[in-house]
């Protein structure tokens, strides 16, 4: 089905053509007509599926075609968990509002509050925001939401994981009237808090599940390598840096200190590399992302900050130097490559500390993970038996190409002690403990 069959406003069709897209992705095909007939939506979709336009296009259609409920208030609010994602959504939105009377403002933490206040006083039609900073403005009475017609939650699961439920509740209450349409997007719907949020926010929602999180991404080749310890991981990394044809690469590490050290390892291998970490100011983070997006740097080394939302088509490789604690995060990280039809490669290094995470990932993906081996750098580590966790899906045996005889780990060793998970609320609201 071509885009023109979706009965979109000609200005929106021109923008889509300008982007070079001729037909809607699966999720767009499902979501656009449902939103256009006024339904609330709950959507689970694979990363890179085109979900942003799946809500921006019908939202714009409604704003262009129907009369505003209020002359002063924002008509649509899009909430995203991280500044980076909010900025990316805002950038796509700007393309769509060009040549229309619709205006928009971006409101994220880490940027000047007074400047934002000035922008909000100009009464933008649409606000794209992170929840913490948005609620600060709401409490400051810079804007009101009685006239809000569309509330869109992008990556709702992640917002909840970052501890934004109180802010979402405040926003819901401030915009609580029967004409509001609400769209909720989440990587996974297999999440009790998302269910509760959906119950509180949505009216008789239409449910769309396209490419469940655990489905194999066709364009991403995934490889897992066992590693004995940190220095073995570094030796493997050095090997990959010489063997692979890397256009651009994002490497994920567990700690900031590792992110900085591994940047030097990449530089020593002849790559231009830059580290992105939460300790940088917002301005510095913006600058790092711009420099990576422009191609000035080939390698971005980061903790989880860059794992969601970033849409960088040149990223040919993702390396998980450490595995993420949460399996959904694995899917998001590898989704930074293989975007919009390009091929990508995801390499994950699995040491004793990563073993519990590996088991969670395997259960989440619902297929057995096999390990590859670099002949010159074989691992002595062959897996440990972590304590049994409650499975969400039927667990399957881990099989390995060259992996036999798993050694049971001793009680209390690093391998079977799940680490606590801390993460900064990404809109400047400080560290919060992630719920287990
Ligand atoms: P998203 O899931 O919104 O992050 O989008 C992933 C990528 O797909 C982005 O590069 C979009 O610009 C691109 N995209 C979105 N819609 C389409 C479409 N209909 N055809 C081709 N690419 C698209």
Give kind and range of the element (H or E) at residue 51.
helix 51-65
- The ligand 1 atom nearest the CA atom of 49: 2
Verify whether ligand 1 is closer than 6 Å to residue 27 (CB atom).
no
Verify whether ligand 1 is closer than 6 Å to residue 50 (CB atom).
yes
Verify whether ligand 1 is closer than 6 Å to residue 53 (CB atom).
yes
- Compute the distance from residue 50 Cα to the ligand 1 centre, in Å: 4
Q: Which of 326, 305, 180 is nearest to 250 (CA)?
A: 305
Verify whether ligand 1 is closer than 6 Å to residue 311 (CB atom).
yes
| 3-state SS assignment for residue 86 | helix
Cα(234)–Cα(254) distance, integer angstroms: 14
Instruction: Look at residue 304 in the predicted model and tell me its pLDDT.
Output: 63
Instruction: Look at residue 360 in the predicted model and tell me its pLDDT.
Output: 87
Instruction: Look at residue 420 in the predicted model and tell me its pLDDT.
Output: 25
Cα(209)–Cα(273) distance, integer angstroms: 37
Query: 228 exposed, middle or buried (CB, 10 Å; 0-12, 13-18, 19+)?
Result: middle
- Compute the distance from residue 63 Cα to the ligand 1 centre, in Å: 22
Verify whether ligand 1 is closer than 6 Å to residue 51 (CB atom).
yes
| 3-state SS assignment for residue 275 | strand
HSE, CB side, 13 Å, CA atoms: give it for residue 149: 23
Verify whether ligand 1 is closer than 6 Å to residue 24 (CB atom).
yes
Verify whether ligand 1 is closer than 6 Å to residue 49 (CB atom).
yes
- The ligand 1 atom nearest the CA atom of 311: 10
Verify whether ligand 1 is closer than 6 Å to residue 253 (CB atom).
no
Report CA Rg, the chain: 22
Instruction: Look at residue 221 in the predicted model and tell me its pLDDT.
Output: 87
Cα(197)–Cα(169) distance, integer angstroms: 9
Two domains, one topology: 3-210 and 220-365: yes
In the chain, DSSP finds a helix count (H) and a strand count (E) of 14, 15
Q: Which two tokens stand for residue 175?
A: 């915009």
In this structure, which residue's CA is closest to atom 1 in ligand 1? 50
State pTM to two decimals. 0.60
Cα(277)–Cα(183) distance, integer angstroms: 31
Q: Which two tokens stand for residue 421?
A: 């998970």
Instruction: Look at residue 209 in the predicted model and tell me its pLDDT.
Output: 78
Verify whether ligand 1 is closer than 6 Å to residue 21 (CB atom).
yes
Pocket test for ligand 1, best of 52, 84, 213 (most atoms within 8 A of CB): 52
What CATH topology corresponds to 220-365? Rossmann fold (3.40.50)
Cα(32)–Cα(7) distance, integer angstroms: 10
What CATH topology corresponds to 3-210? Rossmann fold (3.40.50)
In this structure, which residue's CA is closest to atom 20 in ligand 1? 21
Verify whether ligand 1 is closer than 6 Å to residue 48 (CB atom).
yes
Phi, psi of 20 (to 5 degrees): 85, 15
**Domain range summary for the chain, segments of one domain joined by +:** 3-210, 220-365
Q: Which two tokens stand for residue 272?
A: 């231009």
Q: Which of 254, 259, 256 is nearest to 273 (CA)?
A: 259
Q: What is the pLDDT along the chain (436 residues), one digit of tens a residue?
A: 789 888 899 999 999 999 888 889 888 988 999 999 899 999 987 667 789 999 999 999 999 999 999 988 999 999 999 999 999 999 999 999 998 999 999 999 999 999 999 999 999 999 999 999 999 999 999 999 999 999 999 999 889 988 999 999 999 999 998 889 999 998 877 678 888 899 999 998 888 877 555 455 667 889 999 999 999 999 999 999 997 788 999 999 988 888 889 999 999 999 999 998 777 777 787 788 888 888 899 999 988 655 444 566 678 899 999 998 877 778 878 877 776 656 789 999 999 999 999 998 888 777 788 899 999 999 999 887 544 334 333 333 333 333 333 333 333 333 332 222 222 233 433 322 223 2
Cα(3)–Cα(161) distance, integer angstroms: 35
Q: How are beta strands 273-276 and 150-153 bridged, if at all?
A: unpaired
């Amino acid at each position: 089905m071509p885009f023109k069959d979706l009965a979109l406003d000609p200005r929106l069709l021109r923008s889509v053509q300008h982007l070079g897209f001729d037909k809607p992705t699966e999720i767009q095909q499902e979501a656009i007509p449902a939103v256009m007939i006024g339904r609330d939506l709950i959507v689970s979709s694979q990363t890179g599926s085109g979900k942003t336009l799946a809500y921006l296009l019908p939202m714009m259609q409604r704003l262009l075609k129907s009369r505003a409920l209020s002359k002063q208030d924002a008509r649509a609010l899009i909430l995203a968990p991280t500044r980076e994602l909010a900025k990316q959504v805002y950038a796509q939105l700007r393309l769509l509002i060009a040549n229309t009377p619709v205006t928009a403002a971006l409101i994220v933490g880490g940027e000047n509050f007074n400047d934002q206040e000035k922008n909000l006083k100009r009464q933008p039609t649409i606000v794209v925001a992170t929840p913490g900073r948005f609620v600060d403005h709401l409490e400051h009475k810079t804007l009101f939401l009685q006239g809000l017609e569309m509330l869109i939650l992008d990556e709702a699961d992640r917002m909840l994981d970052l501890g934004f439920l109180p802010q979402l509740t405040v926003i819901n209450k401030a915009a609580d009237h029967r004409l509001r349409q609400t769209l909720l997007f989440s990587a996974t719907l297999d999440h009790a808090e998302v269910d509760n949020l959906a119950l509180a926010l949505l009216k008789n929602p239409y449910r769309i599940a396209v490419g469940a999180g655990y489905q194999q991404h066709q364009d991403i080749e995934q490889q897992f390598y066992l590693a004995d310890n940190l220095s073995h991981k570094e030796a493997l990394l050095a090997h990959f840096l010489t063997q692979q044809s890397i256009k651009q690469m994002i490497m994920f590490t567990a700690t900031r200190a590792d992110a900085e050290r591994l940047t030097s390892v990449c530089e020593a291998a002849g790559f231009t590399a830059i580290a992105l970490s939460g300790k940088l100011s917002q301005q510095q983070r913006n600058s790092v992302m711009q420099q990576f997006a422009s191609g000035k740097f080939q390698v971005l080394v980061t903790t989880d900050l860059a794992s969601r939302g970033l849409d960088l088509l040149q990223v040919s490789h993702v390396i998980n130097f450490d595995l993420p604690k949460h399996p959904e995060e694995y899917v998001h990280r590898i989704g930074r490559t293989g975007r919009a039809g390009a091929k990508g490669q995801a390499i994950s290094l699995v040491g004793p500390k990563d073993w519990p995470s590996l088991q969670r990932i395997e259960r989440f993906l619902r297929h057995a993970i096999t390990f590859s081996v670099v002949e010159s750098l074989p691992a002595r580590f062959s897996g440990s038996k972590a304590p049994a966790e409650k499975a969400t899906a039927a667990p399957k045996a881990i099989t390995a190409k060259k992996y036999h005889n798993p050694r049971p780990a001793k009680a209390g060793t690093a391998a079977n002690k799940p680490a606590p998970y801390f993460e900064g609320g990404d809109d400047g609201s400080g560290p919060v403990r992630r719920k287990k």
